[in-house]
């Protein structure tokens, strides 16, 4: 049964420590009660550094692969659980903060940047030794700020320290995913191959057009992150890239086969031929039939020119 831990007081209870702030807490996993690792929705934003591999980690029921020196995150509504390996002592840090901390603050204004909270991946972020050292410092700095005697700068300083921690997470997530796809050129090439195969294999006719979500799955990325990565590396939206590949496939079929337009639409995953015609016309300025006619007349003109040259 999933437990809900939505208050900072309850969170701190797992670490046997007092609450130092009503909206923020940092816990040392080596001091945590085993009850922390039962399936829970913390009802808060959390960033966790697993500094040892001490059990099987699950997020929303899906196992998350990690190793010592890995980071993963949670947002309100997500569930986490860990099946303990009692031969290994827990080690690491956990930051939790209430959503209210973001209200009318610079941290809240910039929070859109931290889209890793929306990533649905099967692997945690693996840190280099240098990155791990930076993250440990961020957790310790936030914890140290919580221990300070409160004054008029306390909330500001706590938000700054959390913002720094999240910014480093963002940087390190970017590094990991860019390494996975190697470069924008490689991303485009792989995406070309994946979509070409999907369209030519008959999958579109059976399952519909390729979607952004489907493409993201092929890279083991969340749709949001995949979309932002394509936009940044290829300077085009993921949806526009997919539509461009569909148009290319349609042009090939129109110019090299006598398939009816309706059959081509079905082959490319369109439920209705008029939807295909509307997209094709909008992208090329010609209807599918006009495009086919232009290719036929162009080929005939080329053939006549070649015959004259031979004569």
Determine whether 87 is exposed, middle or buried from the number of CB atoms within 10 Å of its CB (0-12, 13-18, 19+): exposed
Confidence of residue 224 (pLDDT cuts 50, 70, 90): confident
pLDDT for residue 217: 84
Grouping H, G, I as helix, E, B as strand and the rest as coil, residue 307 is helix
| Cβ-contact 241, 230 below 8 angstroms | yes
140 and 234 both lie in a single domain: no
Q: Are residues 146 and 190 in the same domain?
A: no
174 and 249 share one domain: no
CB 146 within 8 A of CB 21: yes
Q: Which of 27-31, 122-126, 232-236, 281-285 has the lowest mean pLDDT?
A: 122-126
Q: Verify that 152 and 165 share a domain, yes or no.
A: yes
Query: With 70 as the cut, is the pLDDT of residue 184 above it?
Result: no
* 311: pLDDT strictly greater than 50: no
Task: Identify whether residues 32 and 140 lie together within a single domain.
Answer: yes
Q: How many Å apart are CA 156 and CA 160, to the nearest integer?
A: 6
Residues whose CB falls within 8 Å of the CB of residue 241, separated by 6 or more in sequence, listed in order = 191, 230, 234
pLDDT at 185: 59
123 and 242 share one domain: no
Indicate the pTM of the whole model: 0.67
Give yes or no: residues 171 and 239 share one domain. no
From the list 73, 90, 52, 69, the residue with the least C-alpha distance to 134 is 69
Domain boundary among 181, 200, 218: 181
State residue 13 phi and psi, 5-degree precision.
-60, -35
| Cα(150)–Cα(139) distance, integer angstroms | 19
Q: What is the rounded average pLDDT for all residues in the chain?
A: 89
Would the pLDDT of 309 be above 60?
A: no
Q: What is the dihedral of CA 245, 121, 66, 74, to 10 degrees?
A: 150
The owner of tokens 């300077």 is 235
**What's the whole-number mean pLDDT along residues 4-26?**
94
Range of 211's domain?
A: 184-307
Are 171 and 197 within one domain?
Answer: no
Alpha carbon separation from 219 to 122, 229, 278 (Å, rounded)? 11, 11, 30
Query: Would you give the DSSP letter of residue 217?
Result: H
**Taking Cα atoms as reference points, which of 75, 76, 50, 78 lies closest to residue 65?**
50
Beta strands (DSSP E) in the chain are 3-4, 24-28, 40-41, 45-50, 55-59, 62-64, 70-74, 79-84, 92-97, 125-126
CATH number at residue 90: 2.60.120.280
Decide which of 181, 215, 239 is a domain's last residue. Answer: 181
In whole angstroms, how large is the CA radius of gyration of the chain? 27
What is the rounded distance in angstroms from the CA atom of residue 239 to the CA atom of residue 117?
22
User: Structure tokens of 30?
Assistant: 């080596």
The residue from 142, 164, 181 where one domain ends is 181
Residues 136 and 190 reside in one and the same domain: no
Contact assessment for residue 58 and residue 72, using Cβ atoms and an 8 Å cutoff: no
Residue 300 in this model has a pLDDT that exceeds 80: no
Q: How far apart are the first and last CA of the chain?
A: 85
Q: What is the mean pLDDT of residues 109-116?
A: 90
pLDDT of 124: 86
Q: What is the pLDDT of residue 287?
A: 95
Residues ≥6 apart with Cβ < 8 Å to 70: 49, 50, 124, 125, 126, 127
- For the chain, helix, strand, coil in percent to 5 are 55, 15, 30
What is the pLDDT, as a whole number, of residue 118? 81
Residue 94, pLDDT above cutoff 50:
yes
Co-location of 32 and 162 in the same domain: yes
Q: Does 179 score more than 80 pLDDT?
A: no
pLDDT above 90 coverage of the chain, percent: 73
Q: How far is CA 33 from CA 3, 253, 285, in A?
A: 15, 63, 65
Which comes out higher in pLDDT, residue 185 or 45? Answer: 45
Whether residue 164 is found in the same domain as residue 47: yes
Among 99, 77, 92, smallest CA distance to 22 is for 99
Q: Are residues 142 and 197 in the same domain?
A: no
Report the alpha-carbon distance of residue 113 to residue 163 in Å, rounded: 10
The residue with greater pLDDT, 180 or 41, is 41
The CATH number of the domain holding residue 204 is 1.10.10.60
Domain count, the chain: 2
């Amino acid at each position: 049964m999933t437990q809900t831990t939505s208050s900072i007081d309850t969170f701190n209870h797992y670490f046997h420590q007092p609450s130092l702030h009503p909206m923020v807490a940092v816990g040392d996993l080596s001091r945590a009660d085993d009850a922390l690792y039962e399936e829970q929705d913390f009802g808060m934003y959390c960033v966790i550094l697993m500094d040892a591999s001490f059990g099987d980690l699950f997020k929303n029921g899906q196992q998350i692969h990690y190793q010592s020196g890995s980071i993963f995150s949670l947002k309100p509504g997500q569930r986490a659980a860990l099946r303990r390996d009692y031969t290994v002592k827990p080690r690491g840090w956990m930051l939790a903060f209430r959503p209210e901390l973001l209200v009318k603050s610079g941290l809240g204004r910039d929070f859109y940047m931290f889209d890793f909270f929306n990533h649905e991946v099967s692997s945690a972020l693996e840190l280099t030794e240098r990155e791990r050292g930076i993250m440990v410092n961020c957790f310790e700095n936030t914890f140290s700020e919580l221990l300070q005697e409160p004054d008029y700068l306390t909330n500001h300083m706590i938000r700054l320290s959390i913002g720094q921690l999240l910014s480093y997470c963002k940087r390190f997530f970017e590094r990991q995913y860019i390494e996975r796809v190697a470069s924008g050129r490689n991303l485009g090439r792989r995406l070309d191959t994946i979509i070409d195969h999907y369209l030519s294999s008959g999958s579109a006719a059976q399952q519909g057009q390729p979607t952004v979500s489907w493409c993201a799955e092929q890279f083991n990325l969340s749709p949001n992150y995949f979309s932002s990565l394509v936009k940044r590396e290829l300077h085009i939206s993921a949806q526009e890239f997919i539509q461009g590949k569909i148009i290319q496939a349609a042009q090939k079929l129109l110019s090299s086969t006598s398939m009816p337009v309706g059959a081509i639409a079905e082959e490319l995953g369109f439920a209705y031929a008029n939807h295909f015609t509307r997209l094709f016309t909008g992208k090329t300025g010609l209807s599918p039939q006009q495009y086919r006619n232009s290719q036929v007349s162009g080929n005939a003109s080329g053939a006549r020119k070649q015959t004259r040259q031979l004569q």
